[in-house]
Amino acid sequence: MNGDKLRLRLEPALRRLFHLYWRFARGMTLGVRAVVLDGDGRVFLVKHGYVSGWHLPGGGVEVGETFRDALCRELAEEGQIELLAEPRLHGIFFNRHVSRRDHVAVYVVRDFRQDGLPAPNREIAACGFFGADALPADTTQGTRLRISEVLQGKMPGTTWR
Supply the pLDDT for residue 98: 67
Q: What is the pLDDT of residue 14?
A: 75
pLDDT one-digit tens code per residue, 9-61? 777 777 777 766 656 665 788 999 999 999 999 999 999 988 899 999 999 99
Structure pTM? 0.83
Tally of domains within the chain: 1
Quote the pLDDT of residue 22.
59
pLDDT of residue 99: 74
pLDDT in tens, 68-89: 999 999 999 999 999 999 999 9
Tell me whether residue 158 is in a domain: no
- Cα 10 versus chain centre, distance: 20
Domain for residue 111, yes or no?
yes
In a domain, residue 28? The reply is yes
Asked whether residue 157 is domain-assigned, the answer is: no
CATH number, position 109: 3.90.79.10
Q: Within a domain: residue 44?
A: yes
Q: For residue 89, what are the domain limits?
A: 3-152
- Residue 161 in domain: no
Q: Look at residues 22, 12, 25, 46 and name the one whose alpha carbon lies nearest to residue 102.
A: 22
Residue 70 lies in a domain: yes
Does 159 reside within a domain?
no
Q: Categorize the per-residue pLDDT at 96 as very low, low, confident or very high, splitting at 50, 70 and 90.
A: confident
